[in-house]
Amino acid sequence: SQQGEEDPQALSIQEGENATMNCSYKTSINNLQWYRQNSGRGLVHLILIRSNEREKHSGRLRVTLDTSKKSSSLLITASRAADTASYFCATRLTGGGNKLTFGTGTQLKVEL
Amino acid sequence: DAGITQSPRHKVTETGTPVTLRCHQTENHRYMYWYRQDPGHGLRLIHYSYGVKDTDKGEVSDGYSVSRSKTEDFLLTLESATSSQTSVYFCAISESEVNTEAFFGQGTRLTVV
């Protein structure tokens, strides 16, 4: 089974609203990363949070990490139609030999 | 954009034939990865490399082999393609440090008929 599981699997919101996606993982990590994928394209890195960090911001993105609960959340504020994409969390495991393991993704649709 | 090129971008092949996908990078990054993406499964790691001639298995390595004879090239081979290997394949690269991001290629859509 996969290391990361995103929740919800799909999310539909109106432009201007906030979107929150969650990621749970199973084992100890060095860091957790969020990626975005537009339909038919490769993944693009959004933000990385280290295991000793609890919150990180980048523009309209806010990521939190709770290592005690083995979970992370990605908040996109004031969403735009252009934010429509799939979002994936990925983890680098402690002692994992630099493997980067992805979750199953959240499909976000932002409607006008 | 990071210099990663996957070839071919699309391929249709018959069951039982060998297939090789190529990932070429111009970034001199140490780590290279092959993933497959299927609906409902997200991205699953097939194999990865941590240096020339140094490779290791991922979570779905059965039926696949890899080779890395040069820093810039990472080849994924399906020795005898099966319909279950129909998928979109992505190559990714990252630098040596743990706390660095990965850069992805544009993907190869493989159909096994």
**B33's tokens:** 């990865």
Nearest residue in A to B93, CA atom? A100
Q: Which residue of B has its CA nearest to A49?
A: B99
> How many angstroms separate the first and last alpha carbons of chain A?
36
Q: pLDDT over 90 for what percent of chain A?
A: 75
Strand partners, A50: A31
pLDDT score for A66: 97
Q: What is the pLDDT of residue A40?
A: 81
**Residue type for A33, please?**
Q
The answer to whether the CB atoms of A88 and B43 lie below 8 A apart is yes
Closest chain A C-alpha to B79 CA, distance in angstroms: 24
Which pLDDT tens digit goes with each residue over A2-29? 567 888 999 999 999 999 999 999 888 8
Q: Do A42 and B107 touch (CB under 8 A)?
A: yes
pLDDT < 50 positions in chain B: none
Phi, psi of A97 (to 5 degrees): 65, 30
Residue A98: which pLDDT band, with cuts at 50, 70 and 90?
confident
With an 8 Å Cβ cutoff, is A91 touching chain B?
no
Q: Distance (Å, rounded) from C-alpha B94 to C-alpha B81?
A: 28
A9 Ramachandran zone, left/alpha/beta (phi>0; psi -120 to 50): alpha
Instruction: Give the pLDDT confidence of B45-64 residue by residue, as tens digits.
Output: 999 999 999 999 999 999 99
DSSP class per residue in B24-90: EESS--SEEEEEEEETTTEEEEEEEEEETTEEEE-TT-TTEEEEEEETTEEEEEESS--GGG-EEEE
The residues, ordered by sequence, that sit 6+ positions from B113 with a Cβ below 8 Å of its Cβ are: B12, B13, B14, B15, B83
Contact A4, A105 (CB under 8 A): no
Q: Which of B68, B67, B62 is nearest to B80 (CA)?
A: B62
Query: Cβ contact (<8 Å) for B44 and A99?
Result: no
Token digits of residue B96: 């040596």
Query: Which chain B residue is nearest to residue A33, measuring alpha carbons?
Result: B101
Cα torsion A71, A30, B43, A17: sign: positive
CB atoms within 10 A of CB A94: 12
